[in-house]
Amino acid sequence: MSAKDLSAFLANAQTASGPAPVALQGLIAQVAEVCASIATLVAGGALSGALGSRGTENVQGEVQKELDVISNDLLLNGLHGSPNLSGMASEEMDDIHPTAEQGPYLLLFDPLDGSSNIDVNVSIGTIFSVLPAKGGAPKTEHFLQPGSAQVAAGYVVYGPQTTLVLTLGAGVFVFTLDPASKAWLQVAENVRIAADTKEFAINMSNMRHWAQPVRAYIDDCLAGKEGPRGKDFNMRWVASMVADVHRIVSRGGVFMYPWDKREPGKPGKLRLMYEGNPMSFVVEQAGGRSIAGDAGRMLDVQPTQLHQRVAVILGSANEVTAIEGYA
């Protein structure tokens, strides 16, 4: 495969229903351009004033890092005038953000995923989801579409390389930001997640809070070859969803952030619209599976709130199916 830049890829990109519309091409290019700017801030760290806490809280009651707010503002300001957009919603904002135009798409994003890793120089990222607009001035209910309605989704990992992983509904493609030219160059196409794995990603410190089926599954993994799974597993946990999921997209595995009894009224901690749906769209397009705990396929969940939480289990298809068997 000869390397081509993102614009050349988009010009010939396919969606589930045919060639990518010009407006969708333009929107993805704009999101990628803003993410390149975020990458520069991340790389600068303390030199760019991007470290430390802002001292404020977002709508979920989480303390915001400086880079959370800066990244959110960059996306809002960079895309507010886009003719391709009607409105935006962010994990960091209480309400939707109508844009200057009434374009054909809605954009949802987690501007800076993995905030706890910012100050310790560990991989973090941006997650985004594109939905069709409903026409007219955007309303909150226009955003409450199931993940199966997404026309595009992806994430950017700010790590040793800055990597964009993208799906338009017809496969998964990977791009690396060239630090010299600032161009996004394609480095992989039609990525597939291995159906079987010996690797899982979960925060083991929460084990005492999990429901019994999840504990039983992890116990069986830890039992190794002598246990009921008949193989030795490795555990990986970065505490940055983009980094953990990117490892799975790259070499297989399962990522789990299940319900736990500390907040029994909530199905999980992660956000359906900003994390669960876009990551699940990518994973499914790469041949993996994603479920919302015991609520079935993630992309079939009907959202009822803009900041709805969800249990997340995704990754290698056969392993997700095995986990379902513990319910």
Do the beta carbons of residue 303 and residue 146 sit within 8 Å? yes
The verdict on whether residue 115 carries a ligand-binding annotation is yes
Q: How far apart are CA 116 and CA 104, in angstroms?
A: 35
The verdict on whether residue 185 carries a ligand-binding annotation is no
Amino acid occupying residue 80: H
Q: Which residue has the tokens 């056969």?
A: 318
The verdict on whether residue 116 carries a ligand-binding annotation is yes
Which pLDDT score, from 0 to 100, does residue 36 have?
97
Helix or strand run (H / E) with residue 215: helix 212-222
Q: How far apart are CA 194 and CA 212, in angstroms?
A: 27
The verdict on whether residue 72 carries a ligand-binding annotation is no
Listed residue (244, 248, 310) closest to 276, CA to CA: 310
Helix or strand run (H / E) with residue 163: strand 162-167
Helix or strand run (H / E) with residue 175: strand 172-177
Which pLDDT score, from 0 to 100, does residue 289 have?
98
Query: What does the block give as tokens for 72?
Result: 């959110």
pLDDT in tens, the chain (327 residues): 457 999 999 999 999 999 999 999 999 999 999 999 999 999 998 888 878 776 666 666 666 788 889 999 999 999 999 999 999 999 999 999 999 999 999 999 999 999 889 889 999 999 999 999 999 999 999 999 999 999 999 999 999 999 999 999 999 999 999 999 999 999 999 999 999 999 999 999 999 999 999 999 999 999 999 999 999 999 999 999 999 999 999 999 999 999 999 999 999 999 999 999 999 999 999 999 999 999 999 999 999 999 999 999 999 999 999 999 997
The verdict on whether residue 199 carries a ligand-binding annotation is no
Q: How far apart are CA 286 and CA 191, in angstroms?
A: 6
The verdict on whether residue 203 carries a ligand-binding annotation is yes
Alpha-carbon torsion, ordered 36, 38, 43, 45, to 10 deg: 170
Ordered domains of the chain (ranges, CATH): 6-188 (3.30.540.10), 199-324 (3.40.190.80)
The verdict on whether residue 135 carries a ligand-binding annotation is no
Angle of helix 66-79 versus helix 22-44 axis, rounded to 10: 150
Helix or strand run (H / E) with residue 32: helix 22-44
Amino acid occupying residue 94: D
Q: How far apart are CA 106 and CA 6, in angstroms?
A: 21
The verdict on whether residue 114 carries a ligand-binding annotation is yes
pTM: 0.95
